[in-house]
Amino acid sequence: MPDRPSDRRARVTAADTYDVVIVGAGPAGIFAALSLKDSGLAVCLLEKGPALEHRTCPMQSREAGCARCTPCALLCGWGGAGAYSDGKLTLTPAIGGKLQDYVGQEALGRLIEEVDRTYLDFGAPETVFAPDERVFRDLQRRAATADLILVRSRVRHLGTERCREVLRRMREDLEGRVTVMTRTEAVEILVEPCEDAAAKRCVAGVRLADGTAVRARYLICGPGREGAGWLVGEIRRLGLGLTNNPVDIGVRVELPAVVMEDFTDHLYEPKLIYYSKTFDDQVRTFCMNPYGQVVAENSDGLLTVNGHSYATRKTELTNFALLVSKTFTEPFREPIAYGRSIAGLANMLGDGVIVQRLGDLQAGRRSTPKRLAKSVVQPTLEQAVPGDLSLVLPYRHLRSIMEMLEAMDRVMPGVNSRHTLLYGVEVKFYSSRPELTPNLETKIANFFAVGDGAGVTRGLVQASASGLLVAREILRREGLAREERASEGSSSR
């Protein structure tokens, strides 16, 4: 495909050298770039997808289905998967990733405050969903009666269309300060022996898909969930350690919005956790979209399911994911491959995303177009194929999901209705985490891994915070280096 005029892709040569190269223009990469833009450092941001204005998906037309574009416009391009997300900013350190494991709860809280201020500066709305103590305690009590844990959270909701406007303004702010190359894929991380005896290997840059190299003294890798598999492969090739995160696999649930309004009107996104009676596995709600719609995503050839909601355009339905978290032990080393295999099975049986009425699943039969037509809830993802999720999901996962629906129904009657729709499958590809220092640096000097693709975060805010954290560490090191050079210059005189 020829480059379009406004889809900037600078032509690189083997001689191109920057101080900092950032791989991935998702929230982690963007916030790193915003933090470095006025530093005087030469910064290059690489993104394999298109510019924001060229991120168009055939499924945005109600008549069109997934064209299996490579890369997927919903997942790749300026803004990352977050450009087409619901735009929920979860302002609670306990939610959205594992960054607190590296910097501590208090420091993460400060990072989140700064991230939130930045989003506000670029056009995020002032409204925050944060119920008063009396309301929250009442909702928490109701959840507890059904063995559900309701996690306290504060949420600022952008909406999908406003999210894109915020990202557009961020891109404009970087113009002329950071070199941005879209439609430019990094395929290999380059390293070399270090001159500094304190480290054996230092980062040297990246090799691009066209064979050219971009050299850098610092590398920040934030490839997003879609690029998580690539990062894992590079980490292993470089001989670095990996830790398996829990594997999150489940379904997206769609039901009438009125069923959950008591919770969504106060919390916007109620975070509910349940431990199944049969297996004691954790099941949690994720990415809840009040008055939203269900969408499909193409993750490197696999169709999975997700959800959106808009600030100005609303449906009468709410959708959310139910994810079963399972931590595997040795000798298992392939959490991403495991999730992809289950998604692949759904694609094989349904030629894409499968949708099933809960009543059909409970009755042990597949949904058909005729049965689906009788449902009170009609799917917002019209391209989903009626089918049978019991042929896709492992029994352990399916049993745990059905238990949680029953528990939620005791608090929000109607959740466990036979008309509730289940879409499958939803898989989160952030299941391997490189071994990192508190500054998110690998054992290769000046090579940092950030965001959801590194398994460190699970949402917009913590991903943004991880980029901010690493950028500050680079600025700190550069400040020290400048002081040392100034000191050496003074002593020589």
Q: Where are the beta strands (DSSP E) in 309-461?
A: 317-326, 354-357, 385-386, 421-428, 432-434, 447-449
Amino acid at 215: R
Residues 61 and 181 in one domain: yes
| 113 three-state secondary structure | helix
Tokens of 318: 């709410």
Q: Are both 37 and 186 inside the same structural domain?
A: yes
Same domain assignment for residues 236 and 258: no
CATH of the domain at 186: 3.50.50.60
- pLDDT tens across 236-276, in order? 999 999 887 778 899 999 999 999 999 999 999 999 999 99
Residues 203 and 217 in one domain: yes
**In 37-181, alpha helices (H):** 100-103, 105-121, 133-144, 160-174
Those residues whose C-beta lies under 8 Å from the C-beta of residue 153, and which sit 6 or more positions away, are 90, 91, 92, 94, 95, 267, 269, 271
Strand pairing category for 213-221 and 247-256: unpaired
- Together in a domain, 176 and 97: yes
- Position 149 in a domain: no
Nearest in space to 417 (alpha carbons), one of 446, 381, 377, 463: 377
Please determine, for residue 488, whether its predicted confidence score (pLDDT) is greater than 70: no
Contact 216, 21 (CB under 8 A): yes
Global pTM value: 0.87
Residues 269 and 410 reside in one and the same domain: yes
In this structure, the answer to whether residues 205 and 320 fall within a common structural domain is no
One domain for residues 62 and 175: yes
Q: Six-digit token pair at 203?
A: 């980062």
pLDDT band at 196 (very low <50, low <70, confident <90, very high): confident
Non-local CB neighbours of 370 within 8 Å, separated by 6+ positions: none
6 located within any domain: no
Tracing tokens 């055939």 back to the chain, one arrives at 58
Helix (H/G/I), strand (E/B), else coil: 451: coil
Asked if the structure places residue 158 within a domain, the reply is yes
pLDDT at residue 226, rounded to an integer? 84
pLDDT at position 480 over 70: no
Nearest residue to 414 via CA among 224, 246, 260, 215? 260
The predicted model gives 402-408 an average pLDDT of 98
141 inside domain: no
54 and 161 housed in the same domain: yes
User: Residue 290 domain-assigned?
Assistant: yes
- Residue in this structure with the two tokens 């898989």, named with its chain if needed: 427
Query: Where a domain ends, among 428, 462, 477?
Result: 428
Residue 7 pLDDT grade (very low, low, confident, very high; cuts 50, 70, 90): very low
Listed residues 413, 428, 443: the one ending a domain: 428
Per-residue confidence (pLDDT) for residue 10, from 0 to 100: 46
Rounded to 5 degrees, φ, ψ at 208 are: -95, 170
Q: Domain containing 440: what range? A: 17-129+154-243+433-485
Q: Give percent of the chain above pLDDT 90.
A: 70
Contact 386, 355 (CB under 8 A): yes
Query: Among the listed ranges 13-22, 53-62, 207-216, which one has the minimum average pLDDT value?
Result: 53-62
Q: How far, in Å, CA of 450 to CA of 439, rounded?
A: 10
- 258 and 395 belong to one structural domain: yes
* Mean pLDDT (the chain, rounded): 89
Mean pLDDT of 144-160: 93
Same domain membership, residue 282 and residue 185: no
Domain assignment present for 147: no
Does 139 map to a domain? no
The count of domains in the chain is: 2
Res 14: pLDDT: 42
Examine the fold and report which residue of 428, 449, 473 is the final residue of a domain before the chain moves on. Answer: 428
Q: Are residues 123 and 50 in the same domain?
A: yes
Least confident residue range of 49-53, 373-377, 435-439: 49-53
pLDDT for 340 equals 87
Q: Give the mean model confidence (pLDDT) for residues 453-476.
A: 95
- At residue 169 the predicted structure's pLDDT band, cuts being 50, 70 and 90, is very high
Is pLDDT above 50 for 450? Answer: yes
Q: Is residue 345 part of a domain?
A: yes
